[in-house]
Amino acid sequence: MSTLTKLVVNCETGEEQIVNLTPEEIADRDALAAAYEAEQAAIAAAEQAKAELKASAKAKLIAGQPLTAEEADVLVI
């Protein structure tokens, strides 16, 4: 595995340094990446659930069956 680095810029002098990340910074980075992945999975699951609810509502409309409140909300939005 390659070493993770960051660019540190001194705004007063314009000096740039490439510095290795500390173990704490690497842990924070990994935690943020995991949180992002979990958030994306939750968004995908919500989109899938909405698509399934919409399909169920459409099937019920075609069959002439009553819709649940959630199904009606999905069709109205």
| Per-residue pLDDT tens digits for 5-19 | 999 999 999 999 999
Residue of higher predicted confidence among 43 and 68: 43
Give Dmax over CA atoms of the chain in angstroms: 74
In Å, how far are 6, 15, 16, 20, 25 from 10, measured between CA atoms?
13, 5, 6, 16, 20
- How far is residue 26's CA from residue 19's CA, in Å, rounded to a whole number? 13
Least confident of 40-44, 65-69, 72-76: 72-76
**Residue spans per domain, the chain:** 5-76
CA distance 38 to 25: 20
What is the rounded distance in angstroms from the CA atom of residue 67 to the CA atom of residue 73? 10
* Mean pLDDT to the nearest integer, 58-77: 84
pTM for the structure as a whole: 0.66
pLDDT (tens digit, 9 = 90+) per residue, 27-58? 999 999 999 999 999 999 999 999 999 899 88
